[in-house]
Structure 1
Amino acid sequence: MIDTETLLQLFTETRYHTEALCKPLEIEDYVVQPVVDVSPPKWHLGHTTWFFEEFILKHHKPNYILFDEDFAFVFNSYYESLGKRVIRSDRGNLSRPGVTKVYDYRHYVTNEMKEFLASEISEEVEEILNIGIHHEKQHQELLMTDIKYILGNNPLLPKYNNDFTEHSVEKITQQWLPFKEGVYEIGHTEGSFCYDNELGHHKTYIQDFEISNRLVTNAEFIEFIDAGGYTDFNHWHADGWEWVKLENQVQPMYWHSIEGEWHYYTFQGLQKIDPKAPLCHVSYYEAFAYAQWKGCRLPTEFEWEIAQQHFDWGSRWEWTESSYLPYPGYTKAPGAIGEYNGKFMVNQKVLRGGSVVTAPKHTRPTYRNFFQPNLRWQYTGIRLAR
């Protein structure tokens, strides 16, 4: 077990960090929901608070009094076993509770948790607490990408702040890193925290492959655009080609062609594209098409995990060719916690690594992120394999 004082410090740091991410916002920014995949910042603040109230305080703190009996309906996300909830697409209609009351809710639950954690806790509670802390860290990343979508679709393209750096450059020459065929071990083995979808540890056979030591850059993707990449069906999956036509896709998300030059929206507002920076905000469909155009492919998640110690990662979530499926021996946890990962193992692709908005102390080489292949509001990039 981790000592309670260490857990309390991690919990407190995590709670404060979420609120710090919201400090640059105007009050009106907290309620906006431009599309179904983007939740209002106010909802993130409430949902991450509800998680601790619902899974820990309500069942394990003696004489705990709910802050508001309606908040479980408002801030439950997708837990069918925990009752009715606001439809996901309606989160932006929640003008009430107001931002002030949501912050009151956060502070109430944070203080109740700190009081609860002043005493020893059981292994069962420790496990749930760890999940809750990392659940909030996941939402910190979602919060940042949702804020970017909200501001990036505002006609004025306003700044979030002047300090956040999204587009650091990998100053290395591309090389192909070779790996021999053989049996490799995959999955989490250490005693540290991981999600259940990183278990069980297992062996898998891999053919010879090579993987790039760096991510695809903006300049390289511009070559794909200039070569007619978005107009040639030969590069695309059938579903991807339908997506291109139906959505009229011609460039990555947040890109704007202005007087013949490429710009993109960043947290510092609209800027000229840095050609040497790693590409981001592309879908799996675009990643696959680019790889096909280059005569390459995307790595599988297993190839990525085998190779990751030989290159830098963490500035972009990296699309893989792997479908999001359970590892051998995977079993869902009982109750609502079992809804956390397992029920999403269909029609999604695995991403590996992390991004510039991934929370501190959160990602690891075995971490499995997952999204539908058309989504790209996360900091998603491309690493090639062959």
Structure 2
Amino acid sequence: MAKSRMAPGEEDLAPRYRDVRALSEALAAGLSDADATVQSMADASPAKWHLAHSSWFFETFVLRDHAADYQPFDPRFAYLFNSYYEGEGPRHARPLRGLLTRPSLDDILRYRAHVDAALLAALPDMGAQAQTLVALGLHHEQQHQELLLTDIQHLFSINPLEPALFDAPNDMPAALPGPIHWIEGRQGLVEIGDDGRTDFAFDCEGPRHKALLHPHALAHRPVTNAEWISFIDDGGYRDPAHWLSDGWAWVQAEGIEAPLYWRHEPQGWTRFGLDGRKPVNPAAPVCHISLYEADAYARWAGARLPTEEEWESGAQNVAPISGNQLDGPTCPRPQATDGGAALTRMFGDVWEWTGSAYRPYPGFQADEGAVGEYNGKFMSGQFVLKGGSCATPRGHVRASYRNFFYPHQRWQFTGLRLAKDL
């Protein structure tokens, strides 16, 4: 569940609730009912489902138990828009969400309005437990805001028309950043995990605990598209020596030759984004790569992926609201040339793969009940990513934040930063 150290008062939660809920609808404002209904793959969900599921969360975990006389908008939605909460009973199969032509997008927006009116009316009388659940629901909805965008991008990418969700000009030419500089990290015992300094953290970010760091250094910036093209040109996708066994099998089975959404054309590499198909900007961070690709590149470059503990230790004094996050063009931006004296761009642009498995910290215990299924049940077979992306709502991430995906997945804004032993 969540750890909320300040039970926010209604005067704090109400405007935040309105802002978060409004942003979700603004992100979907350019979609037709058809756009919002279709599902492009089993890993993705329709925009309509994201809008409804985030409302289901408030209805199920807050209004049902903490709002007197609440009447559900439609009792059938409890089945349609549950995601994976076994404690809440059966649900519509995830791969079939794109077949829900009804309810319509307009119906979902009315559902959201119904939930919003009920929650805002009940909020002044809610106790600390309910307010903590509201805070969890808002952070949960911010996660779905990013997923809504990445799922729409994947959907539009398989449309031969390659429509753009947002209009944006081509990137202006930018100087390539200088070579990577290595920033030596802390050594010995360090403290990792939620430190209690923020108002909110997910349960999987704690408990705070000690970790042993061996001599190491982190690259001062993420890997760029230009550097990735060098990897491609050097046969990186054709040489099994760089790849984990599972990764090489994936490359062979799927015919992988470049990051997702890249295409080689007579004029050079192009990529597809929420702003349509554009030339690959050599100075921007590479994104839409799997853990397998990130690991192979690191081996090719004579380096490795950072551990979760190394990355978090390095980022602890970097402002998490910095960087390119979801309040501007939703694509990684060219990297400014810098002297390389410090770690840069730790937050925003791309989620950075680590070499660490997503497993519980020492002493972690999931809460009882359905809400306790939020994070702990997924601690198997996935890897941790850190730092947020250009599609992450600003203010949502922190150094201790743990994102996680399976090693083959790459439809998120995923990139990498190199590490090495000293």
TM-score (norm 2): 0.89
Alpha-carbon distance in structure 2 between the residues aligned to 1:312 and 1:323? 23
Q: Secondary structure at the match of 2:201?
A: coil
Alpha-carbon distance in structure 1 between the residues aligned to 2:41 and 2:397? 27
Aligned to 1:255: 262
Q: 1:3 to 1:88 in 2, by over 3 A?
A: same
Aligned to 1:222: 229
List aligned pairs for 1:8-27, cutoff 5 A.
Answer: 8-27=14-33
Q: Does the Cα contact within 8 Å between 1:167 and 1:278 map onto a contact in 2?
A: no
Deviations 1:235-275 (A, max 9, x none): 00000001001101011000011125100112221111111
Alpha-carbon distance in structure 1 between the residues aligned to 2:364 and 2:273? 39
Alpha-carbon distance in structure 2 between the residues aligned to 1:168 and 1:242? 37
Alpha-carbon distance in structure 2 between the residues aligned to 1:193 and 1:34? 33
Q: Does the Cα contact within 8 Å between 1:169 and 1:276 map onto a contact in 2?
A: yes
Q: Does the Cα contact within 8 Å between 1:74 and 1:86 map onto a contact in 2?
A: yes
Q: Secondary structure at the match of 1:256?
A: strand
Q: Does the Cα contact within 8 Å between 2:176 and 2:282 map onto a contact in 1?
A: no
Q: 1:270 to 1:287 in 2, by over 3 A?
A: same
Give the aligned residue type for 1:352: K
List aligned pairs for 1:27-42, cutoff 5 A.
Answer: 27-42=33-48
Deviations 1:288-335 (A, max 9, x none): 000000010000010001112343222110000000010111000110
Aligned to 1:312: 345
Alpha-carbon distance in structure 2 between the residues aligned to 1:9 and 1:167? 37
Aligned to 2:301: 294
Q: 1:384 to 1:126 in 2, by over 3 A?
A: same
Aligned to 1:284: 291
> What is the number of residues matched between the two proteins?
385
Give the aligned residue type for 1:215: P
Aligned to 1:160: 165
Distance apart, 1:35 and its partner CA: 0.4
The Cα RMSD (Å) is 1.6
Alpha-carbon distance in structure 2 between the residues aligned to 1:365 and 1:61? 35
Structure 2: 5+ residue stretches without partners: 1-6, 319-342
Distance apart, 1:27 and its partner CA: 2.4
Q: Does the Cα contact within 8 Å between 1:167 and 1:277 map onto a contact in 2?
A: no
List aligned pairs for 1:1-386, cutoff 5 A.
Answer: 1-117=7-123, 119-163=124-168, 172-173=177-178, 174-191=180-197, 192-259=199-266, 261-308=268-315, 309=318, 310-313=343-346, 314-386=348-420
Give the aligned residue type for 1:311: T
Q: Does the Cα contact within 8 Å between 1:166 and 1:266 map onto a contact in 2?
A: no
Aligned to 2:4: none
Q: Does the Cα contact within 8 Å between 1:42 and 1:102 map onto a contact in 2?
A: yes
Alpha-carbon distance in structure 2 between the residues aligned to 1:99 and 1:178? 51
Q: Does the Cα contact within 8 Å between 1:168 and 1:277 map onto a contact in 2?
A: no
Q: 1:170 to 1:60 in 2, by over 3 A?
A: farther
Distance apart, 1:26 and its partner CA: 2.3
Give the aligned residue type for 2:70: Y
Distance apart, 1:148 and its partner CA: 0.7
Alpha-carbon distance in structure 1 between the residues aligned to 2:175 and 2:57? 38
Alpha-carbon distance in structure 1 between the residues aligned to 2:78 and 2:393? 25
Percentage of identical aligned residues: 44
Distance apart, 1:32 and its partner CA: 1.0
Give the aligned residue type for 1:334: E
Alpha-carbon distance in structure 2 between the residues aligned to 1:224 and 1:165? 24
Distance apart, 1:166 and its partner CA: 9.4
Deviations 1:147-194 (A, max 9, x none): 111111111111112149999979753211012421100011125100
Give the aligned residue type for 1:75: F
Alpha-carbon distance in structure 2 between the residues aligned to 1:367 and 1:267? 25
Structure 1: 5+ residue stretches without partners: none
Q: Does the Cα contact within 8 Å between 1:164 and 1:267 map onto a contact in 2?
A: no
Alpha-carbon distance in structure 1 between the residues aligned to 2:269 and 2:23? 34
Aligned to 2:330: none
Q: Does the Cα contact within 8 Å between 2:171 and 2:281 map onto a contact in 1?
A: no
Give every structure 1 segment of 4 or more consecutive aligned residues whose post-TM-superposition deviation is greater than 3 Å. 163-173
Distance apart, 1:24 and its partner CA: 1.6
